[in-house]
Structure 1
Amino acid sequence: MTQRKIALFVTCLVDMMRPRIGFAAIRALEAAGCDVVVPEGQTCCGQPAFNSGDTEHAIALAKQTIVALEPYEAVVVPSGSCGGTIRCHYPELFEHDPEWLPRAQAVASRTWEIMAYLDEICGWKPEGVEVMAKATYHDSCSGLRELGVKAQPRRLLKPIAGLELTPLAGEETCCGFGGTFCVKYPAISNAIVGEKADAIEATGADLLLAGDLGCLMNMAGKLNRQGSKVRAFHAIELIAGMGNGPAIGEEA
């Protein structure tokens, strides 16, 4: 079988706050038969600047990212928000730039959220993974609404022995993070995540899973402040067989 040569776009939050998500992504992709490269030229995708209206810096970061990623057959991202920025908003940024628009469109067309890529393109499922726990799943806004990531992570989680998935009321409702939203409107953000934390607790789950680290940090932080015993993980950590380490917020 010919290996797919793909670029892993790690994302800023994963790199700085939860590198094990990046290692889990590599582990799962390699198990699915991919030749994974982490391009050195990658930094931020430019989403915070783009969302804040700082188009100049968003374009500069987008150009740097395009140059780093365009040599590869596919770009895989363990984040719906960063994946959505590259796939949906890069062509928008270069709409009036005849030189960069085709390059942006080409990279965008090859960019995938990691669980969608493993499920839809690789047709892969985890084998020999066991997690004896009850979990619930939150659908992050960008992954769900921009990239259509919904069933794919659940299909990848289903083969995990011992894992019971229980529905989360309002699973498609924003957790209140929203990138810069939580900084600009902290009181509203806190109220939203408070409702989300209550819904998570009501499931009786041991684990909270999602596909975006920003959302997970926001929800885990609120749960921890409320004294909850629910532990948060990026879904790819469990799928890659790395769900036995410290949860988000528990790192030393």
Structure 2
Amino acid sequence: MEDSFLLFALVGFLAQIVDGALGMAYGVVSSSVLLSFGVTPAAASAAVHAAECFTTGASAASHVWHRNVNWRLFWALMPAGVLGGVLGAYLLTSFDAGFMRPIVAGYLGIMGLYILWRAYHYPDQYREHSRGFAGGLGVVGGFMDAAGGGGWGPVVSTGLLGTGGAPRPVIGTVNTAEFFLTLAVSVAFLGALLTGHWQSEDGLAGHGSAILGLIVGGLIAAPLAGYVIRVIPHRVLLVIVGLLICALSIYQTSRLL
């Protein structure tokens, strides 16, 4: 059990460093590791969101403290993300949502390449997104996050950056909104469990130390999030995000083969 705790503490730390700085990866990395240990998809998503209640809260506080949040964008994303997340949690506890994986992998590949192209052609030209566009992206991102165990950052951050958003406020705002999404999804999983809608709670029973490790590792790394994106130049952030998205696309595609 101690080995499991230390392993997942390291996973949580590294995943949260990347997530806090780039706006994605904690959920994808953590849920993938849990799945490799034999945890069911619904249980893995529930475990990751339980851990993220702590880590996203700390990360959000860091971004607010360092003034990385665009509050207009936040109020467009947060309610939409919560709605999509609750719907995704309901879907995942009802039946297998694996049919969406090829769609997500293709989306990530296209957007990753586009962000890399944009980093070298228009690194200093950014724009404000409409509330309608941000809200729609939030619904899709929240849905994918709950149904896939990690998709808020890859869908929302990638969509906003790829369509002209400035890296620092996009990443800070997406991370801050994620805290409320995570709370909503965790409550949805708990409600499904208590009402008998979800009968897979045994998938979490033997992994308490792993979940605790994710929480502790993520909490240690989360306060660094706001500072990291303040000191990294925008062009460099776009390149790193583009490379990460392409890597996630390759990884997701390899799981389908």
TM-score in same-fold range (> 0.5) = no
Structure that is richer in strand per residue: 1
- Alignment TM-score, normalising by the size of structure 1: 0.31
Structure that is richer in helix per residue: 2
| Bigger relative contact order, structure 1 or 2 (CA pairs below 8 A, ≥6 apart) | 2
Larger Rg: 1
- Alignment TM-score, normalising by the size of structure 2: 0.31
